[in-house]
Amino acid sequence: MNPHMNMGDPLAPLTWAQAFTTWRFAPITAVLVLIALALYLIAVMSARRGGVRWPLARTASFAAGLAVVVAAIMGSPAVYGDAGLLWVHMIQHLMLIMAAPWLLCYGHPVTLLLHATRGSAHDRIDAIRRSRAVAVVTWPLTGLALYAVVLFGVHLSSFMDAMMSSPALMALEHVLYLGGGYLYFSHVLTSDSPRSKLPYPLRLFSLFMAMSADTIVGVVLLQATHSPFPAYARMQPSWGPGPVADIHGAGAVMWIGGDGLMLAMMLIVAATWLLDRSPEAARAGAFLESVRQGALAGTGHEALGDADDSDRERLRASGDVDEDDSALEAYNALLARLNTPGREGR
């Protein structure tokens, strides 16, 4: 018997070894994951028969997303999270609402379905994808609102206590996380299901707003002076951190872990934007560059007046300030005149 366990503790203290070796079989989850993987692979083979070379990276991403789902629901995050460790349960949340949906989105399942079907079946699926109902469901604000509502509704209400005594609510929680995360990130990370692409600046702003939701939940839990979830406090093993420390740990996981993952996602979107050569990306980039040019052209306008309008016009007319020697020369001329000795007193 493990010396750290007592008769009331069914689990050994959580260690790195326990984290990777503790599993609990969930038959319904296993069956659903296997069905999803089988359907995806069948669709890949069907697309290949139709002459479409489906990227292996997308298949690997989708399979990895399903693996994250399995680890979150059948691995140590579920076992120890359901045993009263809220900070571990919060790790499961991040796996289901962020990590797994990312990978599933990059598998482009809707695009694959369109490639795998032909004739009337293809037309029906495409018609559904372009329908007004789907447009409302996949509208960016809908996904963002659902993401925030799920976070706030689960963590800042009595849902957690009710869930501990209801397997149905626990399953609903998993569905909300996975479905809500996929609905939100499928529009932000890819152009798989939406009828039109979301501009990159709006994608980044949307991610920032979702990050704010993570931060709010994390900060609220970190400021708790008592456990808001009595059911978790009662179930916590004797070797656990204690109810209040556990709540604070959960808040730290949501704040630091959630914001860190969201920041990584923002960097991925920004890198995708830089590599995107489509007209939509070019227009968004041109808009931001024009804003930047206007800001540079306005340098010192109040102090210098309109005596140097030629330099300002050269800046505004530049296609890319960083690559335009004439524009850089004009900006340096503005700075030189602005820093002319004796101008401070004027």
Q: What are the respective helix, strand and coil percentages of the chain, to the nearest 5? A: 75, 0, 25
- Structural element, H or E, at residue 140: helix 140-155
Task: State both tokens at 71.
Answer: 């680890």
Residues 6+ apart with CB under 8 A from 184: 101, 143, 144, 146, 147, 210
Q: What is the mean pLDDT of residues 136-152?
A: 86
pLDDT above 90: residue 25? yes
pLDDT of residue 249: 95
Residue 2 pLDDT grade (very low, low, confident, very high; cuts 50, 70, 90)? very low
What does the alpha-carbon distance between residue 247 and residue 226 come to, in Å, rounded to a whole number? 8
Residues 6+ apart with CB under 8 A from 9: 237, 238, 239
The chain-wide mean pLDDT, for the chain, equals 82
- What is the dihedral angle through the alpha carbons of 265, 267, 268, 272, rounded to the nearest 10 degrees? 140
Task: Cite the beta strand spans of the chain per DSSP E.
Answer: none
Task: State both tokens at 60.
Answer: 């690997």
Task: State both tokens at 207.
Answer: 């991610």
Nearest residue to 200 via CA among 270, 139, 255: 270
pLDDT tens track for 237-278? 888 899 999 999 999 999 999 999 999 999 998 888 887 766
Residues 129, 117 contacting (CB under 8 angstroms): no
Conformational region of residue 13, where left means phi above 0, alpha means psi within -120 to 50, and beta covers everything else: beta
Q: What is the mean pLDDT of residues 15-42?
A: 95
> In Å, what is the CA distance from 258 to each residue of 156, 207, 208, 338?
16, 11, 12, 44
In the chain, the percentage of residues whose pLDDT exceeds 90 is: 45
pLDDT above 60: residue 345? no
200 burial type by CB count under 10 A (0-12 exposed, 13-18 middle, 19+ buried): buried
Residues 67, 135 contacting (CB under 8 angstroms): no
Through-space distance between the first and last CA atoms of the chain, rounded to whole angstroms:
84
Look at residue 77 and give its three-state secondary structure.
helix
pLDDT tens track for 310-333? 666 665 566 555 556 666 666 666
Give the position of tokens 């609905």: 183
pLDDT tens track for 179-197? 999 988 888 888 776 566 7
CB neighbours (10 Å) of residue 109?
22
pLDDT of residue 10: 73
Q: What is the mean pLDDT of residues 12-25?
A: 92
Q: What is the pTM of this model?
A: 0.78
Give the position of tokens 């979301």: 198
